[in-house]
């Protein structure tokens, strides 16, 4: 599981940063990519990053401001120029369906694959399959805006073959029951508890990807005990009034959310165009005053989870 930042600027592009877009690379887990927000030129950024639009399985839009949305028509319609595209699910606040249908119709474009659009108007569980649970909750921005919590389910433990061999437990159909932790009686009469022969249980990873927001309880809830929290830090701490008046957070406020939530790592993004990449160290150091394990994302920054 890997995060790949495609756009990290707030509001508008700069010479150094594109606007908001973030890919969760799940190629190893389910042979697919999930896209969070889709600012202008996202498909161009994906091309540069060698991330295939054909692999997109789900797109999550946090809110309907243009810097998080205007790249969506291009991504959706470009997929229609490819052969045998898989179905795609799009999640976003109310209005996302009207936006997509209007753009496609007015531009006389078309979609050649099934597109399921799920509109969100309240906190809810969006996905619960064999691998992942995804929940959303409403944040505190100037328009309806949602953050997403992605939890990977625990992976079934493998049997400790060395221990099985050491205890003289033969191969056979009973191994399937042992792997499930069940009690099994061997032909020699021994009762075996499968859980005693489990290898290391691989805990599921957790992350929170939040949209634009001022500090709020929902952000803390979504980020509770995550491995990685992605949070905006539009302004440095000296511009808190300006940031909050526009529904945004500062470096210190993002770090405080990470601290309160018990997150293990904070990655800040959505950086004001007033700051160049040369300001990155000063910006991230403000967060580290409060939450030491903080990184700042630039375009094409990636991190394993």
Catalytic (active-site) positions:
67
Dihedral class, residue 172 (left if φ above 0, else alpha if ψ from -120 to 50, else beta): left
Please give the distance of CA 181 from its chain centroid, rounded to a whole number.
32
Tell me the torsion sign for CA atoms 217, 221, 223, 224: positive
Q: Which uninterrupted H or E stretch holds 21?
A: strand 21-26
Cα distance between residue 38 and residue 60, in whole Å: 9
């Amino acid at each position: 599981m890997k995060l790949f930042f495609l756009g990290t600027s707030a509001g508008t592009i700069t010479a150094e940063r594109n606007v908001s877009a973030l890919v969760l690379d799940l190629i190893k887990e389910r042979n697919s990519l999930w896209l969070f927000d889709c600012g202008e030129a996202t498909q161009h950024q994906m091309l540069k990053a060698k991330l295939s639009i054909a692999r997109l399985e789900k797109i999550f839009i946090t809110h309907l401001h243009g810097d998080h949305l205007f790249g969506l028509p291009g991504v959706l319609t470009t997929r229609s120029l490819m052969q045998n595209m898989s179905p795609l699910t799009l999640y976003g606040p109310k209005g996302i369906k009207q936006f997509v249908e209007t753009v496609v119709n007015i531009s006389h474009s078309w979609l050649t694959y099934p597109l399921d659009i799920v509109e969100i108007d309240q906190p809810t569980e969006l996905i619960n399959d064999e691998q992942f649970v995804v929940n959303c909750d409403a944040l505190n921005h100037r328009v309806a805006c949602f953050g997403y919590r992605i939890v990977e389910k625990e992976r079934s433990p493998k049997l400790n073959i060395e221990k099985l061999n050491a205890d003289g437990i033969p191969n056979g159909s009973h191994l399937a029951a042992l792997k499930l932790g069940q009690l099994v009686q061997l032909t020699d009469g021994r009762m075996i508890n499968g859980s005693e022969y489990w290898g290391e249980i691989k805990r599921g990873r957790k992350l929170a990807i939040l949209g634009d927001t001022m500090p709020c309880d929902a952000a803390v809830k979504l980020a509770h005990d995550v491995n990685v929290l992605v949070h905006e830090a539009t302004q440095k701490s000296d511009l808190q009034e300006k940031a909050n008046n526009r529904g945004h957070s500062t470096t210190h406020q993002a770090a405080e959310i990470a601290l309160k939530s018990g997150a293990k790592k904070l990655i800040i993004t959505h950086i004001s165009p007033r700051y160049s990449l040369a300001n990155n160290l000063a910006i991230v150091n403000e967060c580290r005053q409060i939450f030491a394990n903080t990184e700042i994302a630039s375009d094409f920054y990636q991190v394993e989870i």
